[in-house]
Amino acid sequence: MTDILAAIEAAIAEDERTAREATPGPWRWGHMWPPYKYGLLGAPHPVSGAPQSIVPSAVPDLLPSKYDAQHIARHDPARVLRQAEAHRRILAVHQLEDGGCESCTSEYWPCPTVRALAHAYGIEVEE
Ligand SMILES: [Zn+2]
């Protein structure tokens, strides 16, 4: 069986890496300066104080749509880092011990909590 904990940890680490490399948040959808009309904006630039442009859009009903931009903004780097921390905390108490989970009463491994985390990262769990 694939080491499910290692696979989840690798997925968490990848999310953290990309979040740390991204423009700091909070991200929001807002008006931009010409030639753009709207855009996905990040935290103010540390020197200029202007919001950092992440995804400018001259035609916000097309690319990205305001709904796509809102979705992206809801998953800004700060949120991804909080989720990674939360998932690590969950994993810390759901470890394999004597063939089952050390925390759950589940005698099966992976326990339902670990399976749910795997699902969140698109990791297939072998039966
Ligand atoms: Zn468990």
pLDDT tens by residue, 57-111:
776 566 777 788 888 889 999 999 999 999 999 999 999 998 889 999 878 899 9
C-alpha of residue 3 to centroid of ligand 1, in Å: 15
C-alpha of residue 77 to centroid of ligand 1, in Å: 28
C-alpha of residue 86 to centroid of ligand 1, in Å: 15
C-alpha of residue 119 to centroid of ligand 1, in Å: 14
In angstroms, the first-to-last Cα distance of the chain is: 9
Give the pTM: 0.82
pLDDT value, residue 122:
96
C-alpha of residue 20 to centroid of ligand 1, in Å: 29
The residue among 111 and 52 whose pLDDT is bigger is 111
- CA dist 100 and 94 (Å) reads 9
C-alpha of residue 12 to centroid of ligand 1, in Å: 18
Please report which confidence band the pLDDT of residue 1 belongs to, taking 50, 70 and 90 as the band edges. Answer: very low
pLDDT value, residue 60:
59
CB 52 within 8 A of CB 44: yes
